[in-house]
Amino acid sequence: MKTIQEYREAYAAGRSVKEVMRDLWETIQADEDEGIFIVKFTWEQIEAQLDDEDGPLKGIPFVVKDNIDIGGSPTTAGCPDYEYMAKESAPVVDLLRRAGAICFGKTNLDQFATGLVGVRTPYPVPKNAFDENYLPGGSSCGSAIAVAKGLAVFSLGTDTAGSGRVPAAFNELVGLKPTRGYLSTRGVVDACKSLDCVSIFAQNCADADQVLQVTASYDAEEAWSRPALASWPRIGSEFTFGVPSSAHLNFFGWDTAEELFEKAAQRFEAMGGQRVEIDLSPFIDAAKLLYEGPWVTERFVAIRDFLKSKPDKVFPVTRQIIAAGETPVASALFEAQYKLADCKRLATQEMRKVDFVLLPTTPRNFTLDEVAAEPVQLNSILGTYTNFMNLLDYSALALPAGRYEGTLPWGITIFAEAGMDRALLELGSIYENGAPAGGDWDEVQIAVCGAHLDGMALNWQLTDRGGKLAYASQTAPEYRMYLIPEGGGLPERPALIMEEGGVAIEVEVWTLSREAFGDFVSLIPAPLGIGKVLLKDGTEVPGFIAEPRAAAGARDLSEFRGWRGYLARGSA
């Protein structure tokens, strides 16, 4: 089983989460590729994650790149002498666990997330899932290989220069580089702190989308965090997409890959797209700044003390690259910022011509021997079309696009302005399947807490509009529930208000089409309304909330922890 849907079908057929997880754990123990994991969790650690509560990712296995903290487990960033024991998990991991996903361990990487090759590690190098003589792709090599081999349904990587996209291309996966700041980077070992992203690997766009919706959450304790837009933008059925001129397409010896790129462009045209040639020069100029400019100094700052005290413990090529960051002076940073601002100005002019841009993810792959002979130059080639994304603040999605000479996976990337993450995933799903598949692209979630609950008096207002129960949950312990008496032709119902000293309240999350959601919301009488409800897993979904005036003189029902509890014990 490799997808969320396949795991859900197994559970629907009667298999228990524990049984399925045990089978997967045994498969992981037996896998012969010693380079994938740095830390494999014991069966006792897996069992400790099992519970009876529902969540949108209940029973879905995942793994985490070993520069992301998991409480009680070591973090190495691919350097054994750098290892420390994480006291708590990164927020992005906590969100996944609260949603019911099961973590199986921590995966290998290019040391300190510096590289796109996947071989800059003192641990065994993970094997490319299709040809072990070729690069697995980095820096998130272990995370990608685990998903490609079915050892996890999805995985977390990081992406500063392409580390969440290049391994996807080399292992026939979807690789989402979210908008910078949408997924918290607190609890992540810094590469370039101002540019780092947590990325997502999956078998398809629908799975990546479900993980994104759980993990895209504003973190008030993270300086670089920013909230996702209240309503995710979409791209219509008729769209324009940018492609570079032939002068800016270089496959560095894999010239027949140009045919794969052309087929991908034709596929987007068949989906309703119009191709527009754009000038890629400002994007390429920005890409050069990442390693040829002072941003290398940010990598040096991240591990300065360790690098100075134990230089011989850092992988040689990694040390060579990062140590160069000690020398740039402040004036170089300002000059580079001015150059970047000009690149952004020119790039924005090109982006205004189109809805998104289509590029190769990477020109080609290389053999392990080729990279051993030219470790820096060939790594740079891999980042030709990836290095500028975070500098210019784009969202990006890597997609499989056939196999070079019918053997080795090759991929494309579509990218757009910040905030277009789900729009790209929806397009990617159509690209994969001919129509959106497996995702709730045209659906809106809504949290209900009273008479709209399953089996209650007003539930028909959801079901008659095609509403479907997604899962049961609770709010964060920050709400109180008050009673609105019967009147105006409506039954008595609760008013949910966020207040200090609140408790967790039972809710159900339902899905409606966007059209049905608008019609449903139009029925809601004051003092109730629709706002964002914070759930116990840290996610926010639209849901019923009430104006503070609803609490004036009203009976406080919070002690019952939900409407059903009130009806069972408190309504007499």
- Quote the CA–CA distance of 25 and 82 in Å, as a whole number: 28
The answer to whether 318 and 114 are in contact (CB under 8 A) is yes
Q: How many H-runs (helices) and E-runs (strands) does the chain carry?
A: 18, 20
Angle 375-382/316-323 helices, nearest 10 degrees? 70
Q: 10 Å Cβ neighbour count for 255?
A: 12
How far, in Å, CA of 567 to CA of 572, rounded?
8
Set 73, 140, 143, 163: catalytic member: 163
Q: Where are the alpha helices (DSSP H) in 13-62?
A: 17-30, 43-47
* Nearest CA-CA partner of 62 in 124, 3, 18, 114: 3
Size of the chain, expressed as the number of residues it contains: 572
Three-class SS state of 345: helix
User: Which position among 2, 65, 149, 536 bears the catalytic label?
Assistant: 65
Tokens 């920050």 correspond to 478
Cis upstream peptide for 217 (omega within 30°): no
Identity of residue 188 = V
- Quick one: CA torsion of 336, 342, 346, 352, rounded to 10 degrees? 100
CA distances from 334 to 166, 421, 506 (A): 30, 30, 53
Tokens of 524: 């809601």
The residues, any chain, with a CB within 8 Å of residue 569's CB and separated by 6 or more, are 560
In a 3-state reduction of DSSP, which class is residue 381?
helix
For strands 198-202 and 84-85, give the pairing. Answer: unpaired
Residue type at 137?
A: G
Whether 65 sits among the annotated catalytic residues: the reply is yes
Burial 296-313 (b: 16+ CB within 10 A, else e): bbbbbebbeebbeeeeee
Q: Which two tokens stand for residue 402?
A: 């056939």
Nearest partner of 302 among 487, 77, 570, judged by Cα: 77
DSSP one-letter string for 452-495: TSTTSTTTHHHHTTT-EEEEEEEB-S-EEEEEEPSBTTB--EEE
Give the bridge partners for 540, in sequence order: 534
By DSSP bridging, strand 506-513 and strand 443-448 are antiparallel
- Write the single-letter amino acid at 289: L
Please confirm, yes or no, whether 163 is among the known catalytic residues: yes
Q: How far is CA 251 from CA 274, 321, 384, 396, in A?
A: 24, 25, 10, 20
Is residue 507 within 8 A of residue 53, CB to CB? The reply is no
Catalytic residue among 58, 73, 89, 139: 139
- Measured distance CA(191)–CA(263) in Å, rounded: 35
Which positions are catalytic?
65, 139, 163
